[in-house]
Amino acid sequence: MVSEEKKINIPISKPFLTDACRRNFVDAFDSSWISSLGEYINQFEILFSKYIGTEFCVTTSSGTTALELAIAALDLEERSEIIIPDLTFAAVSNAVIAKGHVPVCVDVSPIDWNINFEGIKNSVTKKTKAVIVVHSYGTPAIDLEKISKFCEENKLWLIEDCAEAHGAEFKSKKVGSIGDLATFSFYGNKIITSGEGGAVLTSNESFFSKMLKLRDHGMSKERRYYHEVSGFNYRITNPQASLLVSQLENISRFLELRDQQESTYDKRLLKHCFTKSKSIKEATKVNWIYSVQCPKNIESIKLAKYLKSRGIDTRPFFNPISSFPYIEKKIRNKVSLILSKNGLSLPTYIGLDDGKINMICDEIESYIFNHI
């Protein structure tokens, strides 16, 4: 038995808000622009598009509405098919369905845990109009270049979902600058955060203009309260954007600290046969949340339960999208099922020092030695 005093209390994630965040937030508050207008919204959109390397950025109320807005901008025929990875967060499939289309789940690669190129090729039909590539757990998709070329040759739109990969690079380009459209999330557990929030980035001016209108109820820019198309309210607020401006100023430092955390975890866990995702040599992954596949002799569910009893929060991997009852096209994707079953994410956030990471790893080693 362990006394309460000796228990560790470490969450899976928590936001890191600097003094600059507080100053910007108070400034937005004092300006009285606390809704979807204000200088910080425009400021962040300019700064973030420059950081990623696109011409345009449209902020949204969440990563999910960013996906919905990107899909809506494609203006596809009803019930078009959009290919997505099977192992990802449900927001991807939900956004496809919300816009009246059919998600087609493709298995992922056991190497990078991202959508498999061969699976995409084998899943294309006459109804296929787009592909969504998710850079899962901060790792750029190995097949991104092949997928981009394939989409161009077959007149398919390519959307990059970068919700977990702020700052990751593929062949010296930031992820989010390669597809026709790219989406980001600024949820509370993301590398930069506004609590909730998202963005769509593109270098296509037609998409940009269309998304600006759709985001604001479809209202004409020349004639107020005249709605040219049926749109949505997907707008971010000025106080939220004020947080993002200050967070973006520190993103390089945030990524550096997260890399150091990953290195500490690696030194302790990889020797015990935990494995991680890998991309190509010319890519740079980011440590959004330290995620591993457990060794064959360790059940991720049991390890998570043990760590929880020690006051350490963890996250299981996503369930395969194809396993959900509302998905029309049922398929058994073997790699996605295996990764989902064996995957575990460990605490990762700014402020988690080496001492706490080593305490987590001590508990994992204790479980290994006592349960195997």
Give residue 5's pLDDT: 45
Residues 6 or more apart in contact with residue 116 via CB below 8 angstroms? 106, 107, 108, 109, 143, 335
Tens-binned pLDDT, residue by residue, of the chain (372 aa): 344 445 669 999 999 999 999 999 999 999 988 988 899 999 999 999 999 999 999 999 999 999 999 999 999 999 999 999 999 999 999 999 999 999 999 999 999 999 999 999 999 999 999 999 999 999 999 999 999 999 999 999 999 999 999 999 999 999 999 999 999 999 999 999 999 999 999 999 999 999 999 999 999 988 999 999 999 999 999 999 999 999 999 999 999 999 999 999 999 999 999 999 999 999 999 999 999 999 999 999 999 999 999 999 999 999 999 999 999 877 889 999 999 999 999 999 999 999 999 999 999 999 999 886
Q: Are the C-beta atoms of 309 and 363 separated by less than 8 Å?
A: no
Domains 19-249 and 251-371 share a fold: no
CA distances to 38, 127, 191, 250, 372 from 247, in Å = 17, 41, 9, 5, 43
CA distances to 81, 88, 103, 185 from 97, in Å = 10, 15, 7, 19
In the chain, where the domains are located: 19-249, 251-371
The model's pTM is 0.95
- 19-249: CATH architecture: 3-Layer(aba) Sandwich (3.40)
Give residue 8's pLDDT: 62
Give residue 3's pLDDT: 45
Q: Does domain 251-371 have CATH number 3.90.1150.10?
A: yes
Give residue 7's pLDDT: 63
Q: Where are the alpha helices (DSSP H) in 99-192?
A: 117-123, 144-153
